[in-house]
Amino acid sequence: MYPLHSHSALLLLACAIAVAASTRTVFTPHTSSLDTVRPVVFYHGMGDSAHSKGMEELFDSLRAFAPEIFIHSVSLAESEAEDQRAGFFGNVNHQIETVCEQLKGIPELSKGFNAVGFSQGGQFLRAYIQRCNDPPVHNLVTVGSQHGGVSDIPGCVQADASCRLMRTIARSGVYSGYVRDHIVQAQYYKDPKNLATYLSRNIFLPDINNELALKNTTYVRHLTSINKLAMFMFMEDITVKPKETAWFGFQDENGDIIELEEQDQYKENWLGLKTMDRAGKLSFELFQGEHMRFSVDEFIDNIAIPYIFELETVEEGKKRKQKNMERYRQIQKEQQQRQQSGMNDQTNILNRFNDLDQTLQTTLG
């Protein structure tokens, strides 16, 4: 229909998992240690559903090592299509209530579980912990999540009609009555130029981040009770703005990143994150590449072994994180150089795509 569609594959504007095929098996654990592995609960991302091909591939990869592992994938509807739709449309507070009821009703989880949330599923599982945590979470792993909010509504996969509809509606005003109660992404949108409106009108994120005047001590008690909060950021994420939101980072009015440690959120310990940090419970983790792009091997090495099977030694963990951090620094350096030489093609293509997207939305709506 229009020429830029052929470039869109490069942009990878997808929040659903795209897992690459596994090519090697480095991990051969002692089977006995995995017989009693904790159950695990997954929460899919925007545009994805509980039992999509990508999700099932990950579950299978866990079962390959621990055949007995109990896996539950959070679903908000009977059908996959309806579950996917619930990722765009709905009231997140109601959805979290449903998740609380759902998890409480599963006998296999009654003694606690590890939790893995992809993209927006990450902050929703954190909300589960803060509001319910019954049964309790041991480790929470969030992957490319929007803990600190987003300064723009995330982009869509090409053919995703629900996502396009969501964006069209969101453009009518993210804090307006209908949108703020019905569009999921509006409920973690945080406008850096309009924080007062965000605080008074957003129905989910300010509450769950304990940013309002009245701090909820239950949130702090529940969150600090977990064993580990591991937060993965994608080094080259261009879908989520800013990508540092995965680590509770946010942008100021000028677009500069304010890291967690510089925020009152941390300094005044609104959620107990400082307490957790000092107790070694926070883990700032990295995945290479664009939003939600990782291989099964990367999933096993960085998530399953350290946080689901808990078979990584402290020393191994340090080495793994150091390696990821070195790669990140290298990528940051390369990006700076590209920007300086005005050769940032990816950004140029993205800007053109956004323009086109805008034109299309205007035509549609």
Ligand X SMILES: *[C@@H]1O[C@H](CO)[C@@H](O)[C@H](O)[C@H]1NC(C)=O
The catalytic position among 52, 61, 73, 119 is 119
**CA 165 to chain CA centroid, nearest Å:** 21
Residues paired with 137 in a beta bridge: 113
User: Site for ligand X (CB under 6 A): which residue of 72, 126, 131, 138?
Assistant: 131
Q: Least separation, in Å, of the C-beta of 218 and ligand X?
A: 4
Active site residue 79: no
Q: Residue 339 interacts with ligand X (CB under 6 A)?
A: no
The catalytic position among 61, 237, 283, 295 is 237
CA angle, corner 275, sides to 269 and 280, nearest 5? 140
Q: How big is the site for ligand X, counted in residues (CB under 6 A)?
A: 4
Rounded distance between C-alpha atoms, residue 215 and residue 211, angstroms:
7
Eight-state DSSP code of residue 154? P
Q: Which two tokens stand for residue 103?
A: 């998890």
Rounded distance between C-alpha atoms, residue 246 and residue 282, angstroms:
13
Active site residue 44: no
Closer by beta carbon to ligand X, 212 or else 343: 212
Q: Residue 216 interacts with ligand X (CB under 6 A)?
A: yes
Active site residue 119: yes
| Angle of helix 120-131 versus helix 92-104 axis, rounded to 10 | 70
Q: Residue 151 interacts with ligand X (CB under 6 A)?
A: no
Q: Residue 218 interacts with ligand X (CB under 6 A)?
A: yes
Rounded distance between C-alpha atoms, residue 235 and residue 301, angstroms:
17
Q: Least separation, in Å, of the C-beta of 216 and ligand X?
A: 4
The catalytic position among 283, 291, 295, 297 is 291
| Beta-strand runs (E) in the chain | 18-20, 40-43, 71-73, 113-118, 137-143, 228-234, 250-251, 257-258, 282-287, 293-295
Radius of gyration of the chain from Cα atoms?
20
Q: Residue 101 interacts with ligand X (CB under 6 A)?
A: no
Q: Residue 225 interacts with ligand X (CB under 6 A)?
A: no
Q: Which two tokens stand for residue 283?
A: 């883990």
Q: Least separation, in Å, of the C-beta of 96 and ligand X?
A: 9
Q: Residue 98 interacts with ligand X (CB under 6 A)?
A: no
Q: Residue 335 interacts with ligand X (CB under 6 A)?
A: no
- Which one of 79-87, 105-113, 214-222, 230-238 is the stretch in contact with ligand X (CB under 6 A)? 214-222
Rounded distance between C-alpha atoms, residue 332 and residue 330, angstroms:
5
Q: Which residues bind ligand X (CB under 6 A)?
A: 131, 214, 216, 218
Q: Which residues are catalytic?
A: 119, 237, 291
